Structure 1
Amino acid sequence: MLAGMGYPGSMIYRTFGRTGLQMPVFSCGGMRYQQSWSDMPLAEVEAENQRNLEATIRRSVELGINHIETARGYGSSERQLGVVLPTFERDKLIVQTKIAPAADPAVFEQQFAESLERLNLEHVDLLAIHGINNHELLWQSTRPGGCLASARRLQAEGKARHIGFSTHASTDTILAALQHEGDGGFDYVNLHWYYINQSNWPAIELAHQLDMGVFIISPNDKGGMLYRPSDKLVELCRPLHPIVFNSLFCLSHPEVHTLSLGASKPSDFDLQMSSLELLDHAAGTIAPIVSRLDQAMVDAVGAEVATRFVEGLPDWEASPGYMNMQTMLWLRNVALAYDLTEYGKMRYNLLGNGGHWFEGLSAAHLDAISDEKFNQAVKDSPFAKEVRGWLAETHAMLGGAEIKRLSQGE
């Protein structure tokens, strides 16, 4: 039996940066328990789905997970939460919703007003600008009179206590958003970071220096589909379940304050909660597992490729065929090292289908790009001679699956 499968431990809290909020190290993310990914009247919500959602929220709060996180873009989530949230003592909850940036900040404000109405609350504790994923959306958010300025007005009116942003952007874009000082800047950030993808660590370090809250998005799903881990990953993570390992890996860094736990039913909390009793000694507990995982990557692709595969590769905008080479080669590496093929297919086939949430194209049209043009694009890579073959290999291994995104929000 894998360690971390026992009865849940007691919740642990961390100060969420400058907000001062005592944040549980796990948050109840609102992407998996709602009836629909499209907004719908409450009257059309099935009674069993609403009962499950309410039981999930009550279990969350019972466990000390009092941060309930959702978004306007999560279909019926806000409306369904609006039935249950007012039944709790308001000052015992930390409620976060997220609103996408808009070219016209009046749209942002109107959508936030609708979200408050749906949630049946007078204020939210955390309001995030949802999806600052590129420089255009960063500008819409931070320009003079933009969405951040609107969010600060809502804060002054008492409708939102603290203002942050969520992002799937490149690290450089995240750093630019973190460094923005106009309208008070941001108080916290929701971003991706976990064992299999640590590229955003510089952003977490900067957020820590700026005393900002740090919320990790989807460490179980986007962190490797850990609810359905590969047999190889299970073996490499023994004696821990991969979810427990990944939780300890993230939370062993004090710069990280909370991990989203996207529960679909009350029992989904138990496994992740069981990691808390191991947290005091997390570094020592995970060290041999990290060593095995690191070695598995070296064994699969070689030490140089493991650490330098993105070096010298163009960003997707500058790549021939707008290919996101960096993402594709990362997915190749984790598929080869950890047998994360199903995860790789899920992510790879979002290229060209994910909009600004997953930018760039796949290698589907690699054969249409001349050697001359391709070689010029990758000339600064230490693996210039191998990259084309690796991309073709990746497409053969991961391409072709029809992938539909859960929502327009993640």
Structure 2
Amino acid sequence: MKYRRYGRTEIKMPVITCGGMRFQQSWSDIPWDEVKRGGQANLEAAVRFSLEVGSNHIETARGYGSSEMQLGMILPKFNREELILQTKVAPEEDPKVFLENFEKSMAYLKTDYVDLFSFHGINNAEILDWVLRDGGCMEVARKLREQGRIRHIGYSTHASNQVICEANASGLFDYCNVHWYFVNELNWEAIQVAKQQDMGVFIISPNDKGGKLYSPPQKLVELCGDLHPMQWNALFCLSRPEVHTLSMGVSCPQDFDTHLEMLDYYDKAEETMKPVEEKLRAEMVKTLGADWCAGWWKGIPEWEELPGGVNVKEIMRLYTYAKALDIVEWGKMRYNLLGNAGHWFPGHKAKDYDEGEMREKLSESPFADQVLGLLEEAHQMFDDAEVKRLSES
């Protein structure tokens, strides 16, 4: 395993983390006697393998159903001081409710402390305010840190770059879990702010939300050459020193294999991934034009400001990469979450909106004359059966 200093936490962080979102049995809390022995044995095998290969950062959340409980039943089998244990609890408008949920997490995990605590889902300005305002959830977390029950405080986010920058610039968080990878570079400014604050940076879902790369289209496979697209994307992320670790949503021990092979290229990440990046960007320019690729997102307001709440920026991002690189199934997966995922993936599909008003709202975009037509094309490309978040499916 390779390791990086996790910002001001000074933790020696493995560049691949063992995420606990996919190996639990249920997305709801269930009694221990309802946990299937085979599933629990698989979970233990995944964690044990993770530790054997040096990926000692184990990440879970209150919102991951039975994950905390199932982990709590096996953690005593390992040396606690060798683990970097992280859990996440959603902020609440009422800090008392937040504290109650934190206590549930600790009871399920059967531990006296967590190395990394995250506010789960600071996804908009309102939720950030619940955390940072006087008497808010941050004050509760700081008291827990004073008591030794939390060692470092961070957050996870699906918010806009503007909100993430504001959170990072506050100087109150030690690290952040954020989306950034080849098919989503819009949050790079927020990562730079994190660097200025000496924060740890954890990349969320580089394989799934980063392009459904575990099931890549043939075009992407060919462009990546000898590298699996998951490996290439990992090297793309890790070639930046501002990035410290990549989330691996593990369902079984074998899920580590492709990324462990990627580590063979770690020490030459930049020179290994750069030729593929050049091919991918050349293909995008060939398909969409250099001007579009250089600034398709400019001048597009956030979804709250647009008629019908259409998330134009997100739809254009999905369209851009799906059109050029054939990652259409990923585009469908994300597009059909719109309208069904609340603040985790906000806004609506490109339908049922006033075209005249939309044209006016997009007037600052250098591609204002194209976007309405591209929204229609994107809708035709992606629209399918509605998708729910995993936790609600």
TM range (shorter): over 0.9
List per-residue Cα deviations over 1:170-201 (Å, max 9, x = no partner): 000001111114xxx01110000011111111
Query: What is the match of residue 13 of structure 2?
Result: 23
State the secondary structure of the residue aligned to 1:264.
Answer: coil
Distance 1:229 1:400 in 2: 19
Task: Say whether 1:378 aligns with 2:362.
Answer: yes
Task: Say whether 1:405 aligns with 2:389.
Answer: yes
Shift of 1:286: 1.0
Distance 2:124 2:181 in 1: 21
1:47-58 aligned within 5 A: 47-58=37-48
Task: Say whether 1:287 aligns with 2:274.
Answer: yes
List per-residue Cα deviations over 1:338-391 (Å, max 9, x = no partner): 11111000100111111000111111214xx1x432221111111111111100
Residue 108 of structure 1 aligns with an amino acid whose one-letter code is F
Distance 2:162 2:147 in 1: 33
Pick aligned residue for 1:36 from 26, 29, 33: 26
Task: Say whether 1:195 aligns with 2:182.
Answer: yes
Distance 2:246 2:174 in 1: 17
Residue 375 of structure 2 aligns with an amino acid whose one-letter code is L
Query: What is the match of residue 261 of structure 2?
Result: 274
Shift of 1:210: 0.8
Query: What is the match of residue 98 of structure 2?
Result: 108
List per-residue Cα deviations over 1:37-64 (Å, max 9, x = no partner): 1111111011110000000000000010
Pick aligned residue for 2:139 from 145, 149, 168: 149
Distance 1:274 1:211 in 2: 29
Distance 2:368 2:232 in 1: 35
Query: What is the match of residue 129 of structure 1?
Result: 119
Shift of 1:408: 6.0
Distance 2:89 2:182 in 1: 28
Distance 2:138 2:289 in 1: 45
Distance 1:118 1:346 in 2: 32
Work out whether residues 73 and 408 of structure 1, in 8 Å CA contact, stay in contact via their aligned partners in 2.
no
Task: Say whether 1:252 aligns with 2:239.
Answer: yes
Query: What is the match of residue 89 of structure 1?
Result: 79
Which range moves more in the overlay, 395-404 or 218-227? 395-404
Distance 1:209 1:172 in 2: 16
Distance 1:245 1:384 in 2: 33
Distance 2:39 2:47 in 1: 12
Residue 33 of structure 2 aligns with an amino acid whose one-letter code is A
Task: Say whether 1:334 aligns with 2:324.
Answer: no
Instruction: Please tell me the root mean square deviation across aligned C-alpha atoms, in Å.
Output: 1.1
Query: What is the match of residue 333 of structure 2?
Result: 346
Normalised by the length of structure 2, the TM-score is: 0.98
Unaligned runs of 5+ in 2: none
Distance 2:356 2:41 in 1: 60
Distance 1:374 1:95 in 2: 46
Work out whether residues 216 and 256 of structure 1, in 8 Å CA contact, stay in contact via their aligned partners in 2.
yes
State the secondary structure of the residue aligned to 1:407.
Answer: helix
Distance 2:96 2:392 in 1: 21
Distance 1:384 1:252 in 2: 34
Distance 2:317 2:275 in 1: 23
Task: Say whether 1:311 aligns with 2:298.
Answer: yes
Distance 2:386 2:360 in 1: 32
Pick aligned residue for 2:193 from 206, 219, 222: 206
Unaligned runs of 5+ in 1: 1-10
Query: What is the match of residue 8 of structure 1?
Result: none
Distance 1:344 1:20 in 2: 37
State the identity %.
53
List per-residue Cα deviations over 1:60-103 (Å, max 9, x = no partner): 00010000000000011000001111111110000000000001
Distance 1:65 1:77 in 2: 18
1:62-101 aligned within 5 A: 62-101=52-91
Task: Say whether 1:391 aligns with 2:381.
Answer: no
List per-residue Cα deviations over 1:383-410 (Å, max 9, x = no partner): 111111100110011012221210269x
State the secondary structure of the residue aligned to 1:189.
Answer: strand
Residue 153 of structure 2 aligns with an amino acid whose one-letter code is I
Which range moves more in the overlay, 33-42 or 60-69? 33-42
After TM superposition, which residue ranges in structure 1, 4 or more long, deviate above 4 angstroms? none
